[in-house]
Amino acid sequence: MTETAFERRTRACQQRLRDGAGDLAVLFPSRNLFYATGFDEEPQERHLFLFVPAEGDPTFLVPDLYGSQVESESWVEDVRTWSDGEDPVAAVEDVVADLSVPADGHVLVDDTMWALFTQDLEAALPDASFGLASVVFDELRVRKDEAELDALRRAGQLADEVSVALRELGEEVVGWTEAELAAEIESRLVSGGGESVSFDVIAGSGPNGAMPHHTHGDREIERGDPVVLDFGAYVDGYPGDQTRTVVFAGEPPERFAEVHGTVREALEAGVSAVEPGVTAESVDRAAREVIEDAGYGERFVHRTGHGVGLDVHEPPYIVDGNGTELEPGMVFSVEPGVYLDGEFGVRIEDLVVVTEDGCERLNESPHGWRVGDSE
């Protein structure tokens, strides 16, 4: 992502502050800070903040061991450092004084900011009121820009490549445990360029596939087992997330082909319903109706999907009761499923981006349950 993309996002945050959200946003190592600057570290015990005032330019305050990295890698020009011998609270007070934020202003802090840091900010701004930065960032992050879509497309492509390669294993997978299959998937995602897996790989075989939260265990995959494969990996900070349900060898149980066909049809109905202006819940409805009409409504036990961005689960949630109207640039999963206790489960999932007149799919690997299927 370019420096310009990061600056554009921060300027959009400032516009929302001026529109009434607050006088100052303060970020620490978080997905919001990555979104605004590209700074990508875990929270740690040393004070590290980005101050984004409603007016003017932002200021980074970082421990001196991060100084040269932040100066060279971030678009932010005002980078201040403090060293282990200094008092970070005094450094915070200095920055706040220079920002000319009203003493009784409203300050938004990262939702995940540690009390260790919010207590110091509250001490430095004793008359300010405090709110959460998600008020501004959730609305910005829900519509992805081109740089984000590019990363999400590559994460989708990586999941596709691994999905296709898994199908080619066919018979070879019979006798592996779910854990061995999951390890193989993780290894292929990482060697294919993924930074890390988006979540614990799900490889639910036979009756284990009927438990939507089962990840993988020591059950051996048998001939004829349907296997729910749900996985993805991060590329440039954005996760892939794709599900296919396949049979590696042999003939599946009775009813499986019928159920798989129903779920596949529900996926298509959900994806077809996506366009700007329709509500999130109407996409859920479109997919759910297909499954209800086939008599499996009670067995579709979860929402139809979730937004995907810097977080693998984020708004918009594709769920009954969510009247959010879809807008171009929103990215979410469509993942209907049917779970038959003690028998098998079927889930099929693609990610989509809302476009001006419908949607674009981020996953294109075959949906069919036979590993030889070409679509």
Applying CB under 8 A, the residues found at the interface with its own copies are 43, 109-116, 118-119, 130-132
Give every CB contact of residue 79 below 8 A, 6+ residues apart in sequence. 59, 60, 62, 67, 70, 71
Place of tokens 């990840």: 215
100 vs 187 by CB, closer to its own copies:
187
> Shortest gap between Cβ of 264 and its own copies (angstroms)?
30
> Shortest gap between Cβ of 253 and its own copies (angstroms)?
30
> Shortest gap between Cβ of 45 and its own copies (angstroms)?
8
> Shortest gap between Cβ of 357 and its own copies (angstroms)?
34
CA distance 216 to 332: 24
Q: How many residues does the chain have?
A: 375
> In a 3-state reduction of DSSP, which class is residue 75?
coil
Element (DSSP H or E) covering residue 63: strand 59-63
> In a 3-state reduction of DSSP, which class is residue 341?
coil
Residue of 223, 308, 297 whose CA lies nearest to 263: 297
CB 26 within 8 A of CB 109: yes
> Shortest gap between Cβ of 243 and its own copies (angstroms)?
22
Per DSSP, the residues of 209-223 read GG-TT----SPBP-T
Residue of 312, 294, 289 whose CA lies nearest to 257: 294
Range 344-354 burial, b when 16+ CB lie within 10 A, else e: bbbbbbbbbbb
103 vs 115 by CB, closer to its own copies:
115
Measured in whole angstroms, the distance separating CA 303 from the mean position of its chain's CA atoms is 16
The token duo for 254 is: 């009775």
> Shortest gap between Cβ of 115 and its own copies (angstroms)?
4
CB 124 within 8 A of CB 93: yes
Measured in whole angstroms, the distance separating CA 11 from the mean position of its chain's CA atoms is 23
> Shortest gap between Cβ of 4 and its own copies (angstroms)?
30
> Shortest gap between Cβ of 29 and its own copies (angstroms)?
12
113 vs 142 by CB, closer to its own copies:
113
33 vs 273 by CB, closer to its own copies:
33
Whole-angstrom CA distances from 30 to 35, 154, 237, 318 are 9, 23, 12, 25
75 vs 130 by CB, closer to its own copies:
130
131 vs 276 by CB, closer to its own copies:
131
55 vs 114 by CB, closer to its own copies:
114
305 vs 368 by CB, closer to its own copies:
305
